[in-house]
Amino acid sequence: MEKLETLDKISKLEAKIKKLGKEREELRAQAVTKGWARWTFTVRMTAPNLQWWKENKPRTWENYATMGKVKKFEPII
């Protein structure tokens, strides 16, 4: 495969992925609106190199941890 052909194929795939992503979001919104699915939120704690902090500074790793929300799409069955 030639350079230009490869780059062209990549750009086409990226456009297709973007289009499908938009379609997925629209379908998810419809499913939530119609009561077929819901968004759930969970809280996740993240810290840089958690294993290292726990081994070397077990009392202070929580100072560097941050809480973040994770949004998850769940079908209602």
Query: Residue 63's domain spans which residues?
Result: 36-77
Higher-pLDDT residue of 68, 64: 68
Q: pTM for the complete prediction?
A: 0.65
Task: Kindly tell me if the per-residue pLDDT of 62 is higher than 90.
Answer: no
Alpha helices for the chain (secondary structure H): 3-33, 50-56, 61-64
16 and 50 part of one domain: no
- Would you say residue 57 has pLDDT above 90? no
CA 8 from chain centre, in angstroms, equals 27
Reported as half-sphere exposure (CB side, CA atoms, 13 A), residue 51 has a value of 0
**Is residue 58 domain-shared with residue 27, that is, in the same domain?**
no
Residue 53 pLDDT: 75
- Is residue 15 domain-shared with residue 1, that is, in the same domain? yes
Burial class (CB in 10 A: 0-12, 13-18, 19+), 68: exposed
Whether residues 5 and 42 share a domain: the answer is no
**Confidence check: pLDDT of 65 > 80:** no
* In a shared domain, residues 30 and 52: no
Query: Are residues 24 and 42 part of one domain?
Result: no
User: Is the predicted pLDDT of residue 58 greater than 80, yes or no?
Assistant: no
* One domain for residues 46 and 25: no
| Cβ proximity of 54 and 61 under 8 Å | yes
What's the chain's length in residues? Answer: 77
Per-residue pLDDT at 17: 98
